[in-house]
Chain A
Amino acid sequence: MATVTTSAAQKRSIDANVLTRKQRSLWQDAWWRLRRNKAAMMGLGIIALAAFLAVFAPLIAPFDPTVQDTKVNNMDPFWVDSIYHNSRFPLGSDQLGRDILSRLIWSTRISLVVGLVPTLLVFTIGVTLGLLAGYLGGWIDNLLMRFTDIIYAFPDLLFVIIIMATLRNTWLGDIMGGLVLIFVALAVVNWVGLARLVRGQVLSLKEKEFVEAARATGVPTRRILIRHLFPNALAPVIVSLAFAIPGAMLAESVLSFIGIGIRPPTATWGVMINEGYTVFSQSPWPVLLPAICISLVMLAFTFLGDGLRDALDPRMKT
């Protein structure tokens, strides 16, 4: 007859083994893998820098980004060999005489907010609907998924443009210089992808035995969704959000560039490109500098997203 008792000596050695081994959760594992990814860490560094600039913009920026001084307009950046220089504007000034450096710094603020807030909305809507549709199934699933299909069928940018163009002059478009409307428009368009992703995850997860075990323990449906299914579906969601943030930032720039995004006195990279475009024949820098900023931050998020995907993929476990 097999016995399950262990001798005192055995117990001691087992204790010793446990003590020497470090405890690591799945997330700690993922962080450890992410840290070894140079590109992702570089991306994280750029994002951290951008976040720093955004938070402390009023302290860092030498000028108010909206103050005009037409006597010193169209100044070139300091490295350009021309006679139009002004030592107050290291990166030059635009056609209204505003400091480009200050405008770039303040734009970081808008860009990050536009990246984060709609993504947060997307996360809330997408995860909730995806979880419900996937787990409850039946007609609820059908209803929610047909609804997502309809929105999915619209070309994204066209849909956003329609929303922006029609609601821009209503009260909703006026709040915070059109910022809130952009949040809403981007969230409305982008939640579908995430909802589908989460639903797919849940469909495969809910067949797993641990969900049945949870039901057999008497765990209510809401708790199964939140505590058992959601954390298991989180990894692909995080990756998808890491790619959604630069998407939203780019969308804001595009909208501002074509003139239906943020209203002009506010500085955003898209607005700056839009305005710099008119003086492009004289100096490319008012366009190039914000474009470089957009590219850099987009690249940073893409690197981070790639890194997260590798780090959170269980098949890459080492």
Chain B
Amino acid sequence: MPELLEVKDLKTQFFTRDGVVRAVDGVSFQLAAGETLGIVGESGCGKSVTALSLMRLIPQPPGKIVEGSIMFDGQDILKMDDDDVRAIRGNNIAMIFQDPMTSLNPVLTISRQISEALELHLKMDKAEAKRRTIELLELVNIPSAKKRADDYPHQFSGGMRQRVMIAMALSCNPKLILADEPTTALDVTIQAQILDLLKNLAREFRTAFILITHDLGVVAGMTQRIHVMYGGQIVEKADTNELFANPKMPYTWGLLRSIPRLDESRKAKLLPIEGLPPDLIAPPPGCRFEPRCQYRREICGTTPPELKHIPNAKPDHEARCWGTQEGGWLVNTDWRRDVGSLEQLEAIKQEVADLPPEVKRIEASGEVPPPPSA
């Protein structure tokens, strides 16, 4: 099957005063037309930077895509000139941002904002664009769309604004939608509605989408495949059911353990991942997750593992872990029962406790790595 999007060895770096932040460090993945993909990982692991890189929206300076290729529909986005990229943005690839409260321009009416892409890319005239705008608003279930089209964003609730963002993203019938944490800023009650809407519309229009989130629960029912990112790299790739049934990377295990489950007994404690995310200016020499991994062995701290196929798993299931790869010590480990070495766990906790307080504050505020402009 011809791929719609093929990202190869993407490296995006930020050149800061403190050094080079390797925000995205060798990410490769493919996406077929109409396929849905989830990218999961905690804050600062490079998810948003990956998405922005795909549209070449990395603020430059300080950011720069230093290596790799992004083949979209047979063309390398990284080699296009600015006008060609602009013609793709909003037209072939659309983006939905995290915070609907700030991603709509407060002084323009809803209809003018949706019409903008239509006039720009599809060369519609004003009346035509307006008509299409109202259709789009009806499509995303805005009640009395005709009257509300001339409202300003402040007259819309958060959920409705995110619907407007979805309408904007769909307006030119793009081949790919990038949704960067589209429900994070919304009430839990609205999240499901928005996700449903997005899923149904993407299916209806056969649009491929990449859903970026820190919440494994969000991607569960939404996407066909999931890539887990950590420290600027993809650490596990699998299709969605496989990932939940048979995860093969201690980081993924950690993520799964920290989700509350309705079917567990009340006494079962949530196990957080101890430690802090890696400093992407000077990442750990071996596996990036090694400093926080209870299952670690000597090799993990010295040699970085590669993203490889995993035994005891589906053929397209890959993970970046010495333990679960061919001949590793975690091949047959049941992550639900075996939480790893408790001594290691204590050691990790101790390491964090020993850090000088200002380091912890910096890391907790998300300054290292720098917030990727989102």
Contact = CB atoms under 8 A, between A and B. Distances in A.
A26 B89 contact: no
A205 to B, nearest CB: 10
- Category for how many chain B residues contact A: 35 or more
A155 interface: no
B181 to A, nearest CB: 12
A204 to B, nearest CB: 12
Contacts of B374: 209
A255 to B, nearest CB: 38
Interface of B (DSSP majority class)? loop
A19 B144 CA distance: 10
A2 B196 contact: yes
Nearest to A213: B103
B144 A218 contact: no
B35 interface: no
B74 interface: no
Nearest to A6: B143
A38 interface: no
B108 A18 contact: no
Interface in B143-165: 143-144, 147-148, 150-152, 165
Interface in B2-21: none
B91 A216 contact: no
B57 A216 contact: yes
A215 B106 contact: no
Interface stretch (A89-97, A172-180, A225-233, A256-264): A225-233
Interface of A (DSSP majority class)? helix
Interface in A214-265: 214-220, 223, 227-228, 231-232, 234
Interface in A82-123: none
A15 B89 contact: no
B105 A214 contact: yes
A9 interface: no
A198 to B, nearest CB: 15
A5 B192 CA distance: 13
Given A214-B116, A228-B105, 16 more contacts: A1-B196, A4-B193, A11-B144, A15-B144, A25-B109, A26-B152, A212-B97, A217-B90, A217-B117, A218-B89, A218-B91, A228-B108, A231-B107, A232-B105, A232-B106, A232-B107
Interface of B: 55, 57, 86-91, 94-95, 97-99, 102-109, 116-117, 120-121, 141, 143-144, 147-148, 150-152, 165, 168, 189, 192-193, 196-197, 373-374
